[in-house]
A and B are shown apart, each in its own frame.
Chain A
Amino acid sequence: MTAWLRKNRWYFVAIAVLGPLAVLAAMSTDWFGYEQRVNGRPILVAEGDNVDFAGAEWSLDNSFVVSAESQAGRSADLPKNTELVVASVRINPSGVGDVSPSCTIHLKDRDGQRTWDTALGIDVTIDEGASSFCDSTRLDSYLLQVLFLVPEGAGEGSRLIIETAEEAPELLSIAL
């Protein structure tokens, strides 16, 4: 038996090395696909940056946080222990093809662990002429203004995530 093992030892070594390698190689394509679906490929946008993305120029106009305890927060009837993140993004469509990009918008916290959808039913007046969604009919430059209700303190260091079907898995990650 020992002689048989010695005779075939290199085959066993090959199986021990190539087996796990084959499994890793087979799973790696799924892993990269999964990782990209979950996190996308973010294009990081800092304050003051203008970025070309999905047939438009995007830049952060301004952002601020309204605490539930503030006068504005009480007027808006924000729930206890929450705050409202307000972000305004200037979208300047390039005019190519007479379309303006449609998009989905989220807010991620500083660690990228939690994601919030835009808030509905919040009694806050947005800027005149601003849109609360990516308006594919607007071919001129316009302001996108979105609201997010988050737990108290979560707005600090958060990032606005803008995705379009055409550019996926690339997405805009705008620092607020």
Chain B
Amino acid sequence: MIRVLVRVVIAVAMLVLASLIFTLAPNDEQTQAPVEIPISIGETGTGRNIEVTVHNIRLAEVVEADGYTPWTGTTPGVWIVVDATMSNVVNSTLPSGFLTFDGLTYFASTRPDSESLVGARLTPGIPTTGTVLFEVPLDVIQTSEPVKITFAASSDLRLDSAIVLSERLDELEIEPAILLEGPETGG
């Protein structure tokens, strides 16, 4: 009788252990999540195929570009202007950038076309300096919660690395207009 009881207890324990492992095991999203490399302003982060330095963050009501594709960008919200230097590490890609706040994701604006750093093709070992723009509602910058800005070598972040900057924006002043300088290669 005791031997039967022991076997039942062992069987139940193994079932509990199996369900625990099944519950705790990472799902596909977790196993394929990018390796995040945190940086602060002025610091360089190097991932598998992207190296990023964020020099400055500014806010603006209007952004203007007078380079190859002149453009004036107005918005009912606000522009977050990120001055950065990026390069690839192993092969050439079009980088991606997005901002996350309060469960929402704002992708880097493509409205400035080639005047944005995320519209520029990067090159391994050759830095490109420029700006990345995020067009966001005012409440994103009016909170003391930091926003999370992520840069990656491409739009597919699975099993790759991502450079991540967390920054509070509520102490920055909103400038009436900012003139963009198009991406500049070399340095």
> Which A residues lie at the B interface, using CB under 8 A?
68, 78-82, 113-117, 149-151, 154
Contact = CB atoms under 8 A, between A and B. Distances in A.
Interface string B88-113: 01111000000000000000000000
Nearest to B128: A79
Contacts of B185: 79, 82, 149
Given A79-B185, A80-B186, A80-B187, A114 B126 contact: no
Interface string B42-68: 000000000000000000000000000
Given A116-B123, A116-B124, A149-B126, A81 B186 contact: yes
Contacts of B90: 113-115
Interface residues of B, number: 13
Q: Which of A68, A113, A114, A115 has the most CB of B within 10 A?
A: A114
Given A79-B187, A80-B187, A150 B92 contact: no
A117 B126 CA distance: 13
8 contacts: A79-B185, A81-B186, A82-B185, A82-B186, A113-B90, A116-B91, A116-B124, A117-B92
Nearest to B185: A79
Given A68-B186, A117-B121, 16 more contacts: A80-B187, A81-B126, A82-B126, A82-B185, A114-B125, A115-B90, A115-B92, A115-B124, A116-B92, A116-B123, A116-B124, A150-B123, A150-B125, A150-B126, A151-B124, A151-B125
A154 B91 contact: no
A81 B185 CA distance: 10
Contact of B91 (A79, A80, A115): A115
Contacts of A80: 186-187
Given A114-B91, A117-B92, A79 B124 contact: no
Contacts of A114: 89-91, 124-125
